[in-house]
Structure 1
Amino acid sequence: MSVTFEPGETILLRHWQRDHIALVVPLRVIEDDGDSVLLWVPAGSRGWHFRMPDGRTMPQTPLPEWSVSRKSPAPHTIDEGLLCRHWRDRDYSIRWVFTAGGRFTRWYANLEAPSVAWRGSGLAGVDTSDWDLDVVIHADRAWEWKDEEEFAERLSMPESYWVDDEDRVRQAGKDVIALAEAGAFPFDGTWCDFRPDPGWPAPPAELPEGWDRPRSSR
């Protein structure tokens, strides 16, 4: 039975690196059309990246060590408002990025595994695996690749890296670029005037019990 979400509920976005969680962010559901879910997190909200026991971040840690080590969540502040659409059958998600004052500035295509929705024990969320290489699309639809050097370096360590299909990742980026150049959805201006309901409560400032439940798969 497929999992869908109700508008207004808060769910957890979790990024996985094989069997390790790398990111957790609580977001509010705006809509779920069955093929994708649209989520919102306001500027100033809290998310959690993960760090080594000694406090090192991923960029500060050799990938072979990072990939096998147990890590702990470390809170960080999300500086910009993010409206995020996650598809259940596409190799990317799209973020509409807003200033703290609500002005749309750009899109961000996060290349990643198709999202897997889950629900249980009073929690709900979507799981994916971040593929590191991304595409930034500016308000005028000019675009640029992001993190190419990092992506290439990690691909040279396949025994430690959770991405194993470079062609698939790059094709996902090319698909996004083609949509941007055509001015097609989601780059046609839809949702660029989004305004959250001022009555919505702030996202949780602490991780809920059960945030580290096993990864969901199709």
Structure 2
Amino acid sequence: MAGVVSGQTVDPRPTATTAPDGARDLGIAPFLSPGGQIDWHYRKPGWQTGDASNIAPMRVVRDDERGLVAWLAAGSLLEGMGAPDGQRIRTVALDQRWLVERTRIVEEWWGNGVLRIAPTGTPWSVWLFWSDATGTDWVFDGWYVNLENAHQRTGSATHSSDHVLDVEIDASGEVRLKDEDELEAAIEQGRISADEAEQITRHADAAIGAFHGGHWAFAQEWVDWRPDPAWTIPQLSDLPR
């Protein structure tokens, strides 16, 4: 069902859903408690059992009717989509990136921790980055809006499908689109249709409008938020596919 965000009508899932049967929409109980583990999945449209996916084990910060907030700690092991030679998929030339077979790889999150916020019924999540996360005075680097299907939940997992195009907003509020060339290549290589890409571009405009409109995912409280120092790094589960 389409929704309205910042005055614009948006389809929360413009590409095929990828969650397991019986999944429920984000924002519907039961909810996980703060500090619990949640596995954040990205699967390609039309994902089948055995296909590669992206999985990040994370700590729940908040899980309720408004959406999910979770913390990806530095040093976390993630499951990713690799090229046939086992390297990261982004090493593949752009004109072949959505044509090559994807393999399952495991890699360590190399940067500082990232706070991810997935609002209920919204075709994007908001990621907060810090360029320096040492001591008490962290240096906020900005927001990354990952355009994606609205999340669906199963147990201690959340599921979505990435939409290639993204929005970057630096700490001063300057906004720019990211990976427009990749979106064009994804259309040419059959990863998404032209109609889906048109919807995704509208979602980018709506997300930018949400930022300027003061949506709760961009609130100062999240810039000021810090993880519980007692939290350990969640473990990547060897889940059946």
Please say whether Structure 1 and Structure 2 have the same fold, judged by a TM-score greater than 0.5.
yes
Query: For the aligned residues, what is the CA RMSD?
Result: 2.1
Structure 2 counterparts to residues 77-156 of structure 1, below 5 A: 77-98=109-130, 99-101=132-134, 102-119=138-155, 124-156=156-188
| Stretch moving more, 95-104 or 165-174 | 95-104
Q: In the aligned structure 1, how far is the partner of 2:80 from the partner of 2:177?
A: 23
TM alignment of 1:1-218, pairs within 5 A: 2=28, 3-18=30-45, 19=47, 20-59=51-90, 60=92, 62-63=96-97, 65-66=99-100, 69=101, 71-98=103-130, 99-101=132-134, 102-119=138-155, 124-158=156-190, 161-162=191-192, 165-204=196-235, 207-210=236-239, 212-213=240-241
* Structure 2 unaligned spans of 5+: 1-23
Aligned pair count? Answer: 202
Per-residue deviation, 1:183 = 4.0
Offset, 1:10: 0.6
Q: Give the corresponding residue for 1:216.
A: none
Displacement of 1:184 in angstroms is 4.0
Distance 1:182 1:87 in 2: 15
| 3-state DSSP of counterpart to 1:96 | strand
* SS of residue paired to 1:175: helix
Of 101-110 and 7-16, deviating more is: 101-110
Bigger relative CO (Cα 8 Å, ≥ 6 apart): 2
**Per-residue deviation at 1:70?**
5.2
Aligned residue identity for 2:181: E
Of 125-134 and 29-38, more deviation after overlay is shown by 29-38
Contact 2:71 2:116 in 1 (8 A): yes
Contact kept? 1:17, 1:162, Cα under 8 Å: no
Q: 1:162: how far off?
A: 4.4
% same residue: 25
Alpha carbons 2:152, 2:159 under 8 Å: kept: yes
Q: Distance in 1 between matches of 2:118 and 2:232?
A: 22
- Matched to 1:209, the amino acid is D
Extract unaligned runs of 5+ from structure 1: 214-218
SS at match of 1:7: coil
Does structure 2 conserve the Cα–Cα contact (< 8 Å) formed by 1:14 and 1:21?
no
Amino acid at match of 2:160: T
* CA distance 1:72–1:151, change in 2 (3 Å): same
Say if 2:119 and 2:217, in contact at 8 Å, map to a contact too: no
Assess if the C-alpha contact under 8 Å between 1:15 and 1:21 holds in 2.
Answer: no
Cα drift, residue 97 of structure 1: 1.1
Deviation per residue, 1:29-87 (Å, 9 max, x gap): 01112231100112232222221342243231624532xx3512231324021111113
